[in-house]
A and B are shown apart, each in its own frame.
Chain A
Amino acid sequence: MSKKQTTQQQRRDFLKASAATGVAASVPLIFSKGAYAAEKFRNDPGTGKSIKFGFNVPQTGAYADEGADELRAYKLAVKHLNGEGDGGMLNTMKPMSLKGNGVLGKKVEYVTGDTQTKSDAARASAKRMIEKDGVLMITGGSSSGVAIAVQGLCQEMGTIFMTGLTHSNDTTGKDKKRYGFRHMFNAYMSGRALGPVLEKEYGTERRAYHLTADYTWGWTQEQSMKDTTEALGWKTVKTVRTPVGAGDFSQYITPVLNSGADVLILNHYGKDMINSLNQAVQFGLKDKVVNGKQFEIVVPLFSRLMAQGAGDAIKGILGSTNWNWQLKNAGTNAFVKSFGAEYGFPPSQAAHTCYVQTLLYANACEQAGTFYPPEVIRTLEDFIFDGMGNGETLYRGADHQCFKDVLVVRGNPNPTSQFDLLKVEQVVPRSKVEYDPSIFGGELGPYKV
């Protein structure tokens, strides 16, 4: 009898043990993709005292200047979030839930990585941040190709991605993602904003030649500029794609001289734009008269960092930009003041958009009362805010694109300082650049992954 009991006992024990082993063995599955239980999510800070953000910026390559400025802005944003420094835009942002004690009472920490402006490297770096460092949110980058690649990864991983500098229509168009958000304006808006100014300045009978950076941003900007200028009555002579980081553009600029074109549209950015513009000026394009008209150069996407690099070549050249430090409003003043106090020079548009993105994410968490990504996403969608330097801004829920005024700028012919390089020619109101999200297609994807 007793012996039988023992065997039964043993069998029970064995069953219990194997059940326990089974549960233990299946534990890792809970952490794998697509298995959030209730409110479980990747890198949940739980009761921890701090949270981590991942700043993934180009530290090497054609966009390294922008990356360095982005990183400065991020460090400043972390300071302000943790209640250090003068608070910057925390004082001007409306509506505002942040208290200057971190986010939801947790101190903000950060990790950095180098995207090298390559999709592979950027994704590897973002993966490291998510898998090893346990970041809650990733932000940064200075190339739309990288932004789209990282955004796709973040959607799979269930980590929110606040894009840095990305101007391609695809980022919030055909490649938009539920977990990706863009504060920066896009190529379509640049075209819409520049159109009337180009018509006024250069008339309706022009022949345009495009040099385009050969990747998603260049392609969509070329398309948007073509649509805009052709609607004005301009003719497009030729569009030529150039590799990113080419360095020497003379082989692309020589044919422009004899093409019969009288406007050169440079769809370049960063060091590429500095090089191509300088070489175009050296080749005497700006002094040429073609078809009885003065030859003109247009740089649809401008930034002060590039203007600084390009020197005298940018004088008088038209372009558009997301933000400029010389704007007169409370948000801009607060940001320029604290950035200047920290680093001794004014911030670029890259720094501005990255700073604002960090604050917007932090504010959404605070407002939602949780770090649970689907809730944070819902809070950010159709969020309307002000006091961040661009006037009233809408984070449109349908495509996660911000809508705000766009600046048309001109290279300052008589700069008063080395930073006073772009003159704001016109502030194009938001209503002029709005569009229907369905024109670019794409699917946002699910809230829960």
Chain B
Amino acid sequence: MMKLSLKSNWVIMLVFAVVVLTAPLWLTPIGANYPDLLQKFAIFGLFAIGYNILFGLTGYLSFGHAAFLGVGSYTAVWSFKLLSMNVIPAVLFSLLVSGVFALLIGYVSLRRTGIYFSILTLAFAQMSYSLAYSVLTPITNGETGLQLSLQDPRVLDAMAGVAKTEGLPSTNLFGQIMSGYPGFYFCAALLIIGFYISLKIFRSPYGLKLMAIKSNQTRMKYTGFNTRPYLLSAFVISGMYAGVAGALMAVTDPLAGAERMQWTASGEVVLMTILGGVGTLIGPLLGVGIIKYFENIFSALNEKVLHEVFSALPDGLENLVVSVTELFVGEGWHLTLGTLFMLVVIFLPGGVMEGVTRLITAGKRMLGIRASSGSAGDEK
């Protein structure tokens, strides 16, 4: 009989799926349960999981992953414009195109390691950004961004006899409109599939080889392994994840802009992964949650809201507290995020996940060795 361990794939997948699908419920108390933010969590979660396969396992720090995100978005919007408003072809084409794109960039960039690799990917991404921003304007519509229009051919939809709408058509999955909560569940489904693949990779001999590259590539080469194919395939896989994430951005909001490819967007996914915990399965997702929450909720707080929050305090103190905290919300949300990032990197080099592990260990010690891991989990 197989013993059902807490760490078996199926238990992890089940818990993960339940947590993701019930996100609208448990995110309610912190004000993050609206469709757009939930979609962002799922989309960037997928992006970060994919990025972690490259950075977390092989240790290759790519500074240009946003390029694949952008390519995925543009491909998806073009699929909406030319083929069909159905999201399936859009996602499939994005997967394919970003994969090919990653193969080309990876083939060149992976000739170098360390900082040179990072710079190469950064250069390629900035090149793609500049191309999308100005040179390739007929394909990308430059700064304004690629948008749907009523004149688009949509060949497959026309063949299937989909009636033309008076306004712009919506993206759909065989009739189910992909905005709001249905859009989130579609993204969530892909996130769960993506997480499963990543889990399988982490726990496979293939994943082990990727980790071996991280710990000592030279030694691995001497034992007779050719590391290039492993590296390139990891690069392409993570590029495909980014492409699908980009496609999902277009699915939930059919528009693609060049700023998605900018180096700041590439930097964001690096921050997310490091903040959450490099090389851990769940870490990048935690990082995504924290950063996106700050970006969307903290940036929207203003003086008025703060006064409401601190209204219980005496007047003079209230004004003082509000004037201090005001620096860290609204347009100052970058400041809060920066401070948090610094604290995490200095005190928890392994990211938030290291904090969680430490808490569990501390909890176990406090409860004595006999305590089960379940009750220790409650401690956090």
Contact = CB atoms under 8 A, between A and B. Distances in A.
Interface of A: 28, 32-34, 59-60, 64, 111-114, 118-120, 123-125, 127-128, 131-132, 145, 148-149, 152-153, 155-156, 170, 214-216, 241, 243-244, 443, 445-446, 449
A131 B144 contact: no
A114 B259 contact: no
B167 A124 contact: no
Contact of B40 (A124, A243, A443): A124
Nearest to B73: A120
Interface residues of B, number: 35
A128 B168 contact: no
B177 interface: yes
A92 to B, nearest CB: 28
A160 B299 CA distance: 23
A241 B145 CA distance: 17
Contacts of B147: 149, 152
Interface of B: 31, 34-37, 40, 133-134, 142-145, 147, 150, 166-168, 170, 177, 179-182, 253, 255, 257, 259-260, 296, 299-300, 302, 330-331, 334
Contacts of B181: 28
A131 B37 CA distance: 10
Pairs A-B, 4 closest by C-beta atoms: A215-B143, A132-B34, A127-B36, A59-B331
Given A113-B300, A443-B150, A148 B259 contact: no
A196 to B, nearest CB: 31
B85 to A, nearest CB: 13
Contact of A120 (B134, B260, B299, B331): B260
Contacts of A449: 167
Contact of B300 (A28, A128, A216): A128
Contact of A123 (B253, B299, B300): B253
A122 to B, nearest CB: 10
A187 to B, nearest CB: 14
Contacts of A32: 177, 179-180, 182
Contacts of A156: 167-168, 170, 179
9 contacts: A33-B180, A34-B170, A59-B331, A114-B300, A119-B144, A128-B37, A132-B37, A145-B143, A145-B144
Given A124-B36, A153-B253, A132 B31 contact: yes
Nearest to B253: A123
A35 B37 CA distance: 23
Contacts of B179: 32-33, 156
Nearest to A112: B302
B144 A216 contact: yes
Given A120-B257, A155-B167, A445-B167, A131 B180 contact: yes
Given A112-B302, A131-B180, 12 more contacts: A33-B170, A33-B177, A33-B180, A34-B177, A118-B259, A124-B40, A125-B296, A125-B300, A128-B37, A152-B255, A170-B144, A443-B150
